[in-house]
Structure 1
Amino acid sequence: RASAGRLGATDVDLTEVARAAIADTVALAAERGIELALECGPSVCALSGTVQQPAAGDPTSGAVPDSALHPDQHEPLMATSSDPQSLAVLVRNLVDNAVRYGHRDGRVIVRVERVERSGVRLTVDDDGPGIPDDEHERVFDRFYRRNPGETTGSGLGLAIVRAIADRHHAQIALDRSPLGGLRVSVRFPGGDEAPTAMRAA
């Protein structure tokens, strides 16, 4: 929805963006037996449970129920964006990386929560091998590979993630996940923190 008082800016429900990213990643998660959960604040607000490999010939087996991806109620957690499509790319890249590089039959948790000064934080946790602390800055290089043996593909795509985060004046941080793998957190500023350039005169 349009955000009053900001030029070219829209308030985007980050929960809905995360939910769409999970829906886009269901096939890969099913193939790898990954358990996905989307948490909003203190509770699980959407998909929770193991996504099973679809049975041969059954296109609905292992699919995420529409009711799971679209619960009746959740608190809107809004991020201000002048380019909602790029915001979707950011979230989708993070979820895809977590599913792709986490352990088979493992877990990925996507969390959206309100933080101080009306900001919103997106956190993606996986249980994979993680990334050494001394390589945290290097992962934002265009061709950085999480698994040294990889010879195909174009890296993690975190260079794109950082560029999009910068355009949204968001802070991105890497840490050790409680699940044992990597945690990526992106904190988006709230309305009272929005840069002057995003406000109408």
Structure 2
Amino acid sequence: MLRTVDRVLLALVGLVLLALGLAVLFAGFDLPRRWGVTMPADWPWSGPEDVVLTDAERTRWTDEGWWWPVALAVLAVLFLLFLWWLLAQLRWQRLDGVEVDSRDGEGAVLRGRALEDAVAAEAESQPGIDRARVVLTGKRGRPRARVGLVLTAHAKPGPAVHRLYREALAHAVTSAGLQELPAEVRMRAARHRAERVS
């Protein structure tokens, strides 16, 4: 619910800013006069000679030494906040629960974090895998897994991925009563620091 509210608010803020920008461009290109459009009497921009901020508004606090640093800092913070807000909407949403078919017609919900931890623990117990991280995304009834594997120094990627699909992911599908669990696997080799031998 909160994610939907965030997206609606972000869309509204974007539409307001877009409308303001288009209004300034509309006046800047002198389109009201060219198209014969009469703007409201209190409309701030009606022609190319109009400015967004008047001289009085722009120079109100310029004699104060704090004005420009504060104005620029506030604008920078607002820009970063809106950028962070936008990127937060685009991030993959971690799945909080997975619907489990309990065979009684009722169903149940398994915590997503519990299933992630179980798959990661089983993957880490397999030979050739040093560490595993699992994140569930998608929908409760059709989850997807994003798996990050850190392979040991001499492990072969092919057999490691094959064992992951055949064992850890297959056991997750069976235990949660899922039809399938599509997975994206990313691998990297473990890095060990060189040690001085004396």
TM-score by length of 2: 0.29
Q: Which has the higher contact order (CA 8 A, sep 6+)?
A: 1
* Structure 1 or 2: more strand by fraction: 1
TM-score by length of 1: 0.29
* Structure 1 or 2: more helix by fraction: 2
Structure with larger Rg: 2
